[in-house]
Amino acid sequence: MSLEVKVPTVGESITEVTIAQWLKKDGDRVEMDEVIAELESDKATFELPAEAAGILRIVAQEGDTIEVGATICRIEQNGEAGGAPAAPAAKQETAAPTATAAASAAQESAPAAAQGAGETKEMRVPTVGESITEVTIASWLKNDGDHVEMDEVIAELESDKATFELPAEAAGTLQIVAQQGDTVEIGGLLCRIVQGAGAGAAKPAAQPGAPAAQQASQPAAAAPSGAQTYASGTPSPAAGKILSEKGINPADVQGTGRDGRITKEDAMGAQKSAAKPAVAAAPAAKQETAAAPAASGDRNQRREKMSSLRKTVARRLVQVKNETAMLTTFNEVDMKPIMDIRAKYKDKFKEKHEVGLGFMSFFTKACTVALQEWPAVNAQIDGNDMIFNDFVDVSIAVSSPKGLVVPVIRNAESLTLDGIEKEVIRLAKKARDGKLSIEEMTGGTFTITNGGVFGSMMSTPIINAPQSAILGMHNIVQRPVAVDGQVEIRPMMYLALSYDHRIIDGRESVSFLVRVKELLEDPMRLLLGV
């Protein structure tokens, strides 16, 4: 017997609630009056007790907003934990009772297979970096009960530094434990894979004789192939997350996947198409309200959830501002010598090294020379100690679709100009594709950020902790300057060095920036080492 648990009436003016979190997982056994979930309204948070003892079957997921009176879950009162009730013998309407009985027996033996007959592989959060203690499940790419193959990507995980894929460690039937959006510690259980089990074959075979309530509680993956009305307009886990962050109703998106399912690509391209109806409706609305003032035009708002990466970046930037004695010193550099070199040799440089000659290689090389002369700018504070480095690992700030990331060029002091350019291109491409590893974004000793590519004239960049300094590049502007007593128009760039005054004194910060200026305005110094 299956009992439907509905959202209770919690107040006169409250018409809907949001599922803040499930305290029990799908398939868990619950007792009468045991708290199984926390619900949120626009006024309060309250607990949802189980209305009977039995096996919990979750219908609405965490984060869903559902109306009062809607079904939130079901409780199978006569079930065993982790299994499903067998189809009654009296309802065998098929012409082949032997086959139906075999299917029912296979369904009844699922818990036993999970515990012994079919070996169960537990998948836990892998270690992804020294400083990372937890990850967030960005999306499940497979549904609970789906059959997965060895090394097939089944989920996307997010840490505070990167997004990475989770491959299946065995072939079998997927049993999801942690839900999408959950934050799980390293080593925590994500899912189980029942090896040798074929969900796609076993579940449809058991359905003809199963009770109607049981069929209604089956996941979407167990639906017959002809049930296109269920798949149509239904987003995949990854697509659902994207649409939720964009604030788009899946009903407004045309799915191109199998049976009309909304794919990740559909969700990513849904922003413009979702905005068109509002624009198209605007003329009609204006005609109806011709007497309204001009201020009554479109005033749309859009709400998006912050990703784990952006929340972590925000937290760390505020932490740096609060915990360091940060100052910024400025200077300007005449870019004409470097621009002349690039104009003269860029074609030969690209022909020989198969990479363009950009400004970043000159700045990186100049910084590595200056950092070795002023080691405090390349150092960091660790408790009551100061750590000085005899190498230079330069972090390059890159704007990616998921937010700001800072991949690291290792041992930049030993690289040539072409070597630096190749590393910048390689890391920037991986950042845009979201393929950077944790190792490629940790361990930098000094950061360079280029706001000039976006048109910034001057800024005060924030230190990338635990580093002690960051150099900000800006746009190049033709300005009149005095050269040998004459006024000339030169391409000038402002430089900004933000530094931690606890470890770097004013003399060191200013001298470092002046040294960088000298090397850039006379690039021959880089070749001669003077």
Question: Which residues carry out catalysis?
Answer: 501, 505
Q: Residue 179 has what DSSP assignment? A: P
Round to whole Å and give the CA distance between 377 and 331. Answer: 16
Phi first, then psi: give them for residue 249, nearest 5 degrees.
Answer: -75, 125
What is the distance between the terminal CA atoms of the chain, rounded to a whole angstrom?
85
Instruction: State whether residue 448 is helix, strand or coil.
Output: strand
509 neighbors 327 (Cβ within 8 angstroms)? yes
Instruction: Concatenate the DSSP letters of all residues of 333-345 into one string.
Output: EE-HHHHHHHHHH
Element holding 478 (H helix, E strand)? strand 476-483
Burial 212-241, CB ≥16 within 10 A → b, else e: eebbebbeebbbeeeeeeebebbbbbbbbb
Query: Which residue type does 202 have?
Result: A
Instruction: Concatenate the DSSP letters of all residues of 118-138 into one string.
Output: SPEEEEEPPP--TT--EEEEE
Query: Which residue type does 239 have?
Result: A
| Length of the chain as a residue count | 530
233 neighbors 220 (Cβ within 8 angstroms)? no
Query: Which residue type does 230 have?
Result: Y
Nearest residue to 60 via CA among 213, 175, 217: 217
500 neighbors 489 (Cβ within 8 angstroms)? no
Q: How, if at all, do strands 35-40 and 2-6 pair? A: unpaired
Q: Residue 172 has what DSSP assignment? A: E
Backbone φ/ψ region at 357: left (φ over 0), alpha (ψ -120 to 50), beta: beta
